[in-house]
């Protein structure tokens, strides 16, 4: 899943939810495209999170069971960022506002010190899955379900600020 070529660089990180996307499977040749829906003067985008791709609603490839939950990541870079955060003994806040940073939005079970070892082991499993490409290599946790944590969609009023609709 990637933006079509030729799009300008993101000016604001919130634009991610509204950018057109293209899906191409090199194994089977399947293709799909996604564009933000227009509703009057609003663009209706996606809200990242959950075990499905926010644009195409397909189950994520990188999923595994961990501490009685499903641990997931979008790609190898996401796995590495999560590993660095979970494995850190001292977690300092960055320049991002706390409510907008990815790490402050992680579920509490992932951030608990008692779960550090199993979560790092689960992230190791995701790291190995990221190197595979055959459908038979898919984790048993990677199957469709409707467990998106936030049911709302992001929306953008043309000519106005970004805001989230309930």
Instruction: Write the pLDDT tens digit of every residue in 72-127.
Output: 998 899 999 999 999 988 877 666 555 556 787 889 999 999 999 999 999 999 99
> Where are the domains positioned within the chain?
1-51+147-166, 59-143
* Confidence check: pLDDT of 148 > 50: no
Mean pLDDT of all residues in the chain? 77
Cα separation values, 88 from 81, 113, 117, Å: 11, 10, 12
Length of the chain: 166
Strands, E, within 36-157: which ranges? 37-39, 42-44, 62-66, 69-73, 153-157
């Amino acid at each position: 899943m990637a933006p079509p070529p030729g799009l300008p660089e993101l000016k604001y990180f919130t634009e991610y939810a509204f950018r057109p996307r293209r899906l191409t499977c090199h194994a089977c040749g399947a293709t799909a495209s996604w564009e933000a829906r227009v509703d009057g003067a609003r663009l209706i985008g996606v809200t990242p999170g959950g075990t499905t791709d926010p644009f195409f609603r397909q189950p994520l490839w990188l999923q595994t069971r961990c501490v009685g939950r499903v641990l997931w990541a979008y790609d190898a870079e996401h796995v590495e960022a999560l590993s660095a955060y979970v494995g850190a003994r001292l977690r300092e806040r960055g320049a991002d506002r706390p409510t907008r940073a990815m790490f402050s939005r992680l579920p509490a079970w992932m951030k608990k010190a008692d779960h550090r070892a199993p979560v790092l082991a689960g992230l190791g499993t995701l790291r190995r899955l990221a190197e595979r490409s055959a459908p038979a290599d898919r984790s048993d946790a990677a199957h469709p379900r409707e467990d998106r944590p936030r049911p709302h969609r992001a929306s953008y009023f043309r000519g106005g600020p970004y805001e989230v609709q309930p």
